[in-house]
Structure 1
Amino acid sequence: MAVTPNSGAQISLTEAETLVDDFKAKFPSEIKASFIGIENVQNLLKQDGCIGIRMYYGYDNDAERLSPVFVGVNSDGEDMIDLIMDRSVPCPPDCDANSPLNR
């Protein structure tokens, strides 16, 4: 499947809860989520030719946790590796205590 500016799809809260619950069941000791700020998202997206963002599933051996790596992607589906983002804020400890995705 080719990447396009419209890749991805909206899902329901129920579908999201199922995905998150299944992940937590399979990987109970992993972080639940990661946060990256709008400035860094915009920096990725404003690169010439960028049509979206790809997230790689990384692992930080020092922190012993998942550590997502974000790159811009061009219309050919190629990673734009001049700007790579990491060091997102993990949940826990920084979580939305009221979110149904964080139960």
Structure 2
Amino acid sequence: MSRITSGAGRFISEEEANEFKGAYQKRKKEQQIPDEDTVRSEFFGSDNLQQILNEPGCIGIRVYHAKRRETINGREHLVPRVVLVGIDKTGKEILQLTVPTEAGMKDMPGGKEGQLADGPICPPECNTGG
């Protein structure tokens, strides 16, 4: 039986999440990558996520791990990124999003690419609040 369902994944404790994230940070320190050059996260807004989830047949989002050369703090690095794409119940990717016509009469397929990327990364876009 496929594990691709709308309930896939599990919620974890703060302690377990910190273990996951800590192992990543530890590895970056071992590689002697300064904290300010270590990408810890990438943010995606609810409007874009909801667009993917609202697609007919979409039951969830697949997250691809990716890398791309980018300049951080004046130096070029191979930066970890993610690419998000909607998935239907068979595990098939939804690569085109349905967008309303300008008149707003009905939805027309094929108007917008469906893979989401290039969210702000942390650092520098980190939570600075308490």
* 1:95 partnered with 2:126: yes
Q: State the partner residue of 2:14.
A: 13
Unaligned stretches of 5+ in structure 2? 72-76, 97-113
1:54-79: CA deviations, max 9, x gaps? Answer: 11011121343111100001000122
Q: State the partner residue of 1:69.
A: 83
Please state how far the C-alpha of 1:27 moved relative to its aligned partner: 2.8
Letter in 2 for 1:45: L
* 1:27 partnered with 2:28: yes
Q: State the partner residue of 1:46.
A: 54
Structure having the higher strand fraction is: 2
Aligned 8 A contact 1:31 1:91 in 2: yes
Unaligned stretches of 5+ in structure 1? none
Which protein has greater RCO, CA pairs closer than 8 Å, 6+ apart? 1
Distance 1:20 1:4 in 2: 26
Structure-2-length-normalised TM-score: 0.70
Q: Which 4+ residue blocks in structure 1 deviate beyond 6 angstroms?
A: none
Structure-1-length-normalised TM-score: 0.87
Identity %: 26
Computing the radius of gyration from Cα coordinates, the structure with the larger value is: 2
